[in-house]
Amino acid sequence: MGRVKCCYCGKEYFKDIRHINENLKFDHNFFCSPKCQYTYKNKQKEFKCENPTCKNKFKRAPNDISPHNFCSHSCSATFSNTRKWGYKKSKSLLTKEERIRIWTETNRNRAKNYWLTHGKDYVISKIQDFVIKQRRIPVKREMWGIYKPARKFFGTWNNAIEAAGFSPNPVLFAKRHMANDGHYCDSLAEKLIDDFLYEKGIKHERCCPYPEGIYTADFKIGEKFIEYFGLAGEHKRYDELRKIKQKLAKRFKLEFIEIYPKDLYPVCNLESVFGNLNIYNN
């Protein structure tokens, strides 16, 4: 006789040596009783009937589990029929989750009807308000909440800009922009950064070379190198270039500031990116 340990409950018990050798040979588990063996092998999961009027609990094998589980055909039919015919519970009988679901569906339908009726006019008015306030054409990243409706009603974002009575922004890098201080910028985002620095009275340079190689930084303030990575995560070659510049900054121990679209759109957060602006004017 040899001492073994139950695989389920952990209880130690004695078993014939020949049975132990056989289990080890075939890689079988040891169980102290048929009950432990059954419980260990039972993969059924316990569910609560989804019929609100039934509180029965039942078990179901993994292959029999479905998105909605009921303890009987009767409960399934009762629940399905009330949904089919739009049976309405008294508000006092509704659970908190049911009230939230009904409120959400109601407001979603109201919003959908509003967009169908006033969608085009609303999109156009939001674009026009932005142009009047900012004195430039918005990019889609800045207009969170109306970009998808604009695509739905006008086909493209540029069509929506034209419908509002303006000329759309040029394709990225297809046209250079002149900043307020006379610097030429490769994109509208770089112009926004340049104008921000000019407005704050911070002296800066454009397209400054790194200590080694053929690469240049978008901006330079004193000994600080500033890069705007507008296409990060969108193009493989662009990400490789970004990593090269990061390695150069680390290798030569440069003061390196990275700016991304989230720092400009939908709200400009450049002040938090640069920190204390007074140190740049010293």
Report whether pLDDT(95) > 70.
yes
Report whether pLDDT(84) > 90.
no
Q: Who's near 31: CB < 8 A, 6+ residues apart?
A: 6, 7, 8, 37, 40
Q: Who's near 37: CB < 8 A, 6+ residues apart?
A: 8, 31
Predicted confidence band of residue 85 (pLDDT cuts 50, 70, 90): very low
* Total residues found in the chain within this entry: 282
Under 8 Å between Cβ of 192 and 179: no
Predicted confidence band of residue 15 (pLDDT cuts 50, 70, 90): confident
Give the CA angle between residues 214, 262, 130 to the nearest 5°: 115
Tens digit of each residue's pLDDT (9 = 90 or more) over 24-51: 777 778 778 888 887 777 777 888 888 8
Spell out the domain ranges in the chain: 2-83, 97-163, 177-280
The kind and range of the H/E element at 257 are strand 255-259
SS3 content of the chain, % helix, strand, coil (to 5): 45, 15, 40
CATH superfamily label, 177-280: VSR Endonuclease (3.40.960.10)
Paired tokens of 276? 């204390």
The kind and range of the H/E element at 198 are helix 188-199
Predicted confidence band of residue 111 (pLDDT cuts 50, 70, 90): low
Phi, psi of 126 (to 5 degrees): -65, -40
Phi, psi of 222 (to 5 degrees): 65, -115
Range in 18-27, 44-53, 158-167 with the lowest mean pLDDT = 18-27
Report whether pLDDT(269) > 80.
yes
Antiparallel, parallel or unpaired: β 216-221 and 45-48:
unpaired
Q: Who's near 24: CB < 8 A, 6+ residues apart?
A: none
Higher pLDDT, 100 or 131: 131
Tens digit of each residue's pLDDT (9 = 90 or more) over 224-244: 999 999 888 878 888 999 999
DSSP, residue by residue, 89-152: --GGG--HHHHHHHHHHHHHHHHHHHHHHHHHHHHHHHHHHHHHHHSSPPPGGG-TTTHHHHHH
Give me the percent of the chain exceeding a pLDDT of 70. Answer: 88
**pLDDT recorded at residue 116:** 64
Q: Which residue has the tokens 């308000």?
A: 129
- 145 φψ region: left (φ > 0), alpha (ψ -120 to 50), beta (else): left
Report whether pLDDT(219) > 50.
yes
| Average model confidence (pLDDT) across the chain | 81
